[in-house]
Amino acid sequence: MSLMAIRDYIKQRGQVSVIEVAIHFDLAPETAQLGLDYWMKKGKVRLLNTCGSGCTGCSQVGANNQTYEWCGRAIPLQFNPRRIAPVQRI
């Protein structure tokens, strides 16, 4: 299991819970949480404030029931040569 594998799994599913990631990769929920946290810090995944039934902020939501959604760039970054400073000749 790698962070890239977790990324691909989230992208494929769209939304996942910590438990789903843990089961899919045969990990402890804490380890799955670390992978999700990594992608959250990168801005590619966001935490949804819903449980499986669609409510918001219910008391049933625990750390392992939280749902995460892929929100990475749909359009890849593109090279723009005009944004590069010209080389100064000495």
Which residue has tokens 């801005």?
43
pLDDT for the residue 72: 76
pTM: 0.66
Question: Could you give phi then psi for residue 59, rounded to 5 degrees?
Answer: -75, -10
pLDDT in tens, 48-73: 865 555 555 554 445 567 899 998 76
pLDDT tens string 4-59: 999 999 999 999 999 999 999 999 999 999 999 999 999 899 998 655 555 555 54
Determine the Cα–Cα distance for residues 67 and 1; give it in Å rounded to an integer: 20
Number of C-beta neighbours around residue 35 at 10 A = 23
User: pLDDT-based confidence at 89, cuts 50/70/90?
Assistant: confident
What is the pLDDT at residue 81? 65
